[in-house]
Amino acid sequence: MPRPIIIDTDPGIDDALAIMLAAASPEVEILGIVAVAGNVGIERTAPNAAALADLLGLECPVGRGAAAPLWREATYAPQVHGENGFGGYELPVSNRTLEPGVPLLARLIEESAEPVTVVAIGPLTNIAMLMVEHPKTARRIERIVIMGGGALRDQGNATPTAEFNIFVDPDAAAKVFAFGVPITMVGLNATHQALVGAQHLPDLMASGGPAARMVAHLLGSYSDDANAETAETGMAQHDSLALAAVLDPAIITTEHLFVDVENTGRRTTGMTVIDYLGRWGAPNCDVAFGVDVERFRALLNTRLTELDARLVAGAGA
């Protein structure tokens, strides 16, 4: 029985790989994709999500979520993802009608016969708004798997202490971490181990279909400034590691810890603050520390190659 998931996303180069991986994997059923402003503005992330859904032949609804953080000015990362969010790669414009994002989140969770896993790979504004506007519905969420935050000496990329998704809307992140739904946090301390280049996806690169062509372009155009790796090691695939952890939990190793989000610190706003001493409250989060990188790379290569073959054959994902 596939696990029902909703992907909340700011596509986004690494978001695109994560959505492709989800579409390619029988372990999950994508109930919906909801866009949020982040890597680029909502006027890009929402159409990008719709265009990806078209490319992958997904029948699930796509939502247009928050255009800005709860209370702060928006922060974008075009220097990493390009002005269009896909490093300049152009997909055909979708004709889908997008639903309002937060009501779509609520509807999908309420209609699902099985508890839903939310995979949040962008700023957490939509998720926080769901918790504020539909608290009973939000409590039905089985788990929120977040690409965000950091730990140990790998805390930040937006600032030295804050990871981008959390930094963009720390107030939303603080609400989400405090809400009480189980969380898995896949932060930079894990994702910076998950380096992927074209050389790690040989079967996909040889496949040559629409997914392969897009991934080849994305991997070549992704300049994550905080972790500028050489071509030999590839680039940190933040979002697809978080998604992979849903498909195959053994890809990461976690510790159950109390995590809060700083939203007032002069130098630490956006920091995921981890209590390793167990003094601030019951653990609320499974924090990823270890990554089986070869297992992750093999999953990506295998699943995206299978996906590409289906797209070449004219079938959906």
Contact set with ligand RIB (CB under 6 A): 10, 12, 14-15, 38-39, 121-122, 147, 157, 163-165, 238-239
Rounded to whole angstroms, the Cα distance separating 117 from 102 reads 15
CB within 8 Å of 32: residues ≥ 6 apart: 6, 7, 60, 61, 62, 63, 104, 105, 108
Identity of the residue, 63 or 122, whose beta carbon is nearer to Ca ion in the bound complex: 122
Residue 121 CB, shortest distance to ligand RIB, in Å, is 5
Identity of the residue, 239 or 306, whose beta carbon is nearer to ligand RIB in the bound complex: 239
- Helix runs in the chain, H state only: 13-23, 42-56, 78-81, 101-111, 125-133, 135-138, 164-168, 170-179, 188-191, 202-207, 210-221, 238-247, 293-312
The residue from 81, 134, 238, 256 that is catalytic is 238
Identity of the residue, 14 or 99, whose beta carbon is nearer to ligand RIB in the bound complex: 14
Identity of the residue, 61 or 148, whose beta carbon is nearer to Ca ion in the bound complex: 148
Q: CA-CA-CA-CA torsion for 117, 105, 91, 245, nearest 10 degrees? A: -10
Rounded to whole angstroms, the Cα distance separating 86 from 214 reads 9
Residue 113 CB, shortest distance to Ca ion, in Å, is 29
Residue 71 CB, shortest distance to ligand RIB, in Å, is 19
**Binding partner of 311, given Ca ion, ligand RIB, none, CB within 5-8 angstroms per partner class:** none
**Which residues of this chain interact with Ca ion, rule CB under 5 A?**
10, 12, 15, 121-122, 239
**Binding partner of 286, given Ca ion, ligand RIB, none, CB within 5-8 angstroms per partner class:** none
Residue 10 CB, shortest distance to ligand RIB, in Å, is 5
Rounded to whole angstroms, the Cα distance separating 261 from 161 reads 11
Identity of the residue, 12 or 87, whose beta carbon is nearer to ligand RIB in the bound complex: 12
Rounded to whole angstroms, the Cα distance separating 19 from 67 reads 20
Q: How far apart are the first and last CA of the chain?
A: 18
**Binding partner of 163, given Ca ion, ligand RIB, none, CB within 5-8 angstroms per partner class:** ligand RIB
**Binding partner of 197, given Ca ion, ligand RIB, none, CB within 5-8 angstroms per partner class:** none
Question: How many helices (H) does the chain have, and how many strands (E)?
Answer: 13, 12
Residue 99 CB, shortest distance to ligand RIB, in Å, is 22
Q: 84, 79, 61: which is closest to 10 by C-alpha?
A: 84
> Nearest residue to ligand RIB, using CB?
164
Q: Is there a contact between 126 and 7 (Cβ–Cβ < 8 Å)?
A: no
Catalytic residue check, 134: no
Q: What is the set of active-site residues?
A: 238
